[in-house]
Structure 1
Amino acid sequence: MISNPRTPPHLLTIILLTAFSPLSLNMFLPSLENIARDLKTDYALVSVAIAGYLAVTAVIQLIAGPLSDRFGRRPVLLVALTIFCISSIVCSLAQNIWVFLTFRMLQGSVTAGFTLSLAIVRDTNPPREAAGLIGYITMSMAIAPMLGPVLGGILDSTFGWRTSFYFYAFFGIVLLLLCWFDLGETRKGHGDGEQEERDNFTALLRERRFFAYAICTAFSTGAFYIFLAGAPLAATATFGVTTVQLGFLIGSITMGFSAGGFLAGRFAATVSLPTMMLIGRIVACSGLTFGLLLLISGWLSPWVFFGSTLFVGIGNGLTMPSSNSGAMSVRPDLAGSAAGLVGASTLAGGAILTSLTGAAVVEDSSPEIVIALMLASSLIGLIAATGALIFERNGSIATH
């Protein structure tokens, strides 16, 4: 039993829930080839564990958010973590690829931890303070993806690929127990039939303010997806960097995101949500514009290329805590639905932008194309942030 059923969780609980979502995606990546060999299948089929997982997590975010608005954050999170733990155990014991893939998809339930963590922060804090806390939380989103593959590689090489799923199961149980004892219900009020009929995605989609925040989030993140899809090929083809150098340089954008998240946590409480979003968008667009001009002028250097993309990481770290908080503040009673819808639309947008980048960037492409695509996505985010600022000045949303 928990001492108070409405006690908000400690910040550490929220950070662990948030960080474990990306960790569940990438920690086992070094094991894909060994999984294919052990389960006697081909690599392409095993890779469905990545692409299919992303698709499932988008759907889960759409489901978990509204369910948490109706039944509460606590029960939805406990059920999601239970499903994740059971799925992890089955994956660790799987003897054929279809069992493995089925329960690997069910592992996507853990993404509810990220979605509902944002809603819980918004439930328990005013918009600006929520943005500040989300800024600190997003720092974990930057660190976890960097550590995950390293840890997974060590576990695989030492004990075998199944150990990663033992780790998932063990840590999932730890999170489940932590949430059972630490996470009280934070959703305010209880819905009735009439309320439930009104409280759905349609209500959010009628709000132009929600669109401004959601579009800003999606296209800010979209620049990062473009980077992931285009930077490795452009860098190796143009600059001839080694794989070791490439790994370090690619990690720079993630370090920038962590730095931006820290700054957002430090200053978001004193700056309006749209203003902080604008600052982040200006940082990203300025760095990309300067880098593009240098590249066009003949300064073909990996330091120019990755130096300009570093500003995207910083800008996103500044922007996204406020844009997420703003989206959930349009209808605070639908914070879970808003978090789920923003998360799903961001993943869908990332998939589209990644595909477009893959088609546009070929082996002989210049890095200018990648920077230009990132700049275009960041500019759309800038326009959306400007729209959010206009709505605030018109008194459309309270930010205090």
Structure 2
Amino acid sequence: MTTDILQPAKPKLWILVILAAVGPLAINIFVPSMPSIALDLNAPYATVQLGLSMYLLATAVISLFSGPLSDKYGRKPILIWSLFLFLIGSLICLLAENASYFLIGRIIQAASATGMVLSRAIVRDVYPREKSASMIGYVVMGMAVAPMIGPAIGGYIDSVAGWRWSFGVLTAFGFIALLAALVLLPETNSNIGQSSGRQISVYTSLAKMPIFWFYVGSASFVTAVFFSFLGGGPAVSSLFFEQTPFEYGLYFSLCAVGYALGNGLAGRYSEAVGLEKMMSIGAIFSFIGPVISLALFYLSEDPAPWMLFVPLSLIGLGNGITLPNVTAATISVRPEAAGAASGLLGSLQIGGGGLASIVGGIVVGETGSPYGLCALLVAFGFIALIITLIGARMSRQYEAN
């Protein structure tokens, strides 16, 4: 009876979905509007493009600290303060009169990364290891739906009302998330009050565990496949295929649909099949997609957009299957420090993804060639597959011992 009383309350699933969706929506809703923003703020396009890379960099840093802070002070207060900062950043972008204020707003907006990190830690607080993978699969559907609709919505809003209203939508969504966290989210961390020294020791102990780094490598390189596509795909779409931003947003939704499907499969089958098998299956899909796309481009005399976007929807599928399972495995290495493990994983994962997006943009060059981009995706996918297979094998041995 006492054990039941001490169990933390389980939050509503839809609340965690909303919290997890704020950050991904803010990442790319403005991407189709970057030319409009540059023109309106009288700034070089490259400067406005920093709004993406600086956001990702800030996200990586915030992810590193938000987990340990939530282990010490609780999940709920950290989430509330981060969402409040997100609202301030969104308003700064909405009202920005020059590129400097716009970039400042984007950096402050990155506080929303806390929602991605802590929604996963909250799941691990209230569910056992295998069950947590299924629940994380459902929760991170929010991270799939957001980028699925983000570019299309941003492009449409820009054409109808101007780019600033994209940040108006982000402000409204952030306000809804803040209200949900304030009113409906229970505190789930039953180990509040860990000292700073304790936090440092947790990171040190995690760093000494080889299995942790294989989990991080799997998540980072699978994510790198997706972010390379995110970094180079818009250039291929606009320069090589001469598509409009709205058309790119619609085609991009194929990859996000695959991601949502992968999350659904993870949520449905991870508990029964096992984390190791599911993360390996996902890595296989993330590798096969770029291989098919690269083969189609080299075999075709008349390249078409579907040759890029349809096969690469398998990247989304693979990410959707692998990431919930590898995340659940990572934060289960040290369940008493789930926030720290989730934060460190998120920091390295997003930081690596940010670098991959830059490389993807460089590889496509000024012509927006899809050949180099697909080759890069194949390389990242192959590395991800090898690391995931080795990590899955180590994980089974680790659990057996």
1:268 to 249, 270, 285: 270
Secondary structure, aligned partner of 1:308: coil
Q: Could you tell me whether the CA contact under 8 Å between 1:8 and 1:185 is conserved in 2?
A: no
How big is each residue's C-alpha offset from its partner over 1:240-287, in whole Å with a ceiling of 9 and x where there is no partner?
564476554433222211211111111111011111011112233334
In 1: Cα distance, 2:153 partner to 2:365 partner: 32
Determine the structure 2 residue equivalent to 1:335. 338
Asked whether the equivalents of residues 18 and 113 of structure 1 are also in contact (C-alpha less than 8 Å), the reply is: yes
Q: 1:340-359, aligned counterparts within 5 Å?
A: 340-359=343-362
Alignment of 1:45-194 (within 5 A): 45-156=47-158, 158-193=160-195
Letter of the structure 1 residue corresponding to residue 324 of structure 2: P
Equivalent in the alignment of 1:322? 325
Instruction: State the distance in 1 between where 2:40 and 2:299 align.
Output: 51
Q: Distance in 1 between matches of 2:116 and 2:394?
A: 28
TM-score by length of 2: 0.86
Offset, 1:98: 3.5
How far apart, CA to CA, are the structure 1 residues paired with 2:93 and 2:309?
A: 38
- Verify the 8 A CA contact 2:224 2:356 in the aligned structure 1: yes
Aligned equivalents of 2:182, 2:388: Cα separation in 1: 38
| Aligned-partner SS, 2:399 | coil
CA offset digits 1:88-123 (Å, max 9, x no partner): 334444445444432332121111111111111111
Contact 1:7–1:183, Cα closer than 8 Å, also in 2: no
User: Does residue 383 in structure 1 map to residue 383 in structure 2?
Assistant: no
For residues 193 and 57 of structure 1, do their structure 2 counterparts lie closer, same or farther at Cα, with a shift above 3 Å needed? closer
2:21 is aligned with what amino acid?
A
Distance change in 2, residues 1:69/1:398 (3 Å): farther
Equivalents in 1 of 2:33, 2:300: separation in Å?
41
Question: Partners of 1:369 and 1:308 in 2: how far apart?
Answer: 16
Aligned partner of 1:397: which letter?
E
Deviates more, 1:133-142 or 1:165-174: 165-174
Quick one: distance in 1 between partners of 2:40 and 2:370?
39
CA distance in 1 between partners of 2:196 and 2:151 (Å): 47
Q: Residues 220 and 316 of structure 1 are in contact (CA less than 8 Å); yes or no, is this contact kept in structure 2?
A: yes
Distance in 2 (alpha carbons) for counterparts of 1:320 and 1:195: 30
From the superposition, tell whether residues 370 and 86 of structure 1 become closer, same or farther in structure 2 (CA, over 3 Å): closer
Classify 1:37/1:288 alpha carbon distance in 2 versus 1 (closer, same or farther; 3 Å): closer
CA-atom RMSD in angstroms:
3.1
1:142-183 superposed Cα distances (whole Å, 9 cap, x missing partner): 221232344344545555544444443333232222111211
The 8 Å contact of residues 39 and 97 in structure 1, kept in 2 or not, is answered as yes
Following the alignment from structure 2 to structure 1, what is the Cα–Cα distance between the partners of residues 18 and 119?
10
1:53, CA displacement in angstroms? 1.8
Structure 1, residues 199-247: CA drift from partner, whole Å, max 9, x if none?
4322211111111111111111111122233445557777x56447655
Q: Distance in 2 between matches of 1:257 and 1:215?
A: 19
Q: Deviations over 1:323-374 (max 9, x none)?
A: 1111111111221122222222122222333333344444678644433321
Cα distance change on mapping 1:282 and 1:99 into 2, 3 Å = closer
**Would you say how many aligned residue pairs link Structure 1 and Structure 2?**
394
Partner of 2:256: 254
Unmatched 5+ stretches in structure 2: 1-5
Deviates more, 1:40-49 or 1:263-272: 40-49
- Tell me the distance in 1 between the aligned counterparts of 2:363 and 2:202: 37
Percent identity between matched residues is: 37
TM-score normalised per structure 1: 0.86
Distance across 1 between alignment mates of 2:235 and 2:163 = 29
Are the aligned partners of 1:128 and 1:271 in contact in 2 as well (CA < 8 Å)? Answer: no
Structure 1 residues 298 and 58: alpha-carbon distance in aligned structure 2, compared to 1, 3 A threshold: same
Between the aligned partners of 1:112 and 1:81, the Cα distance in structure 2 is 8
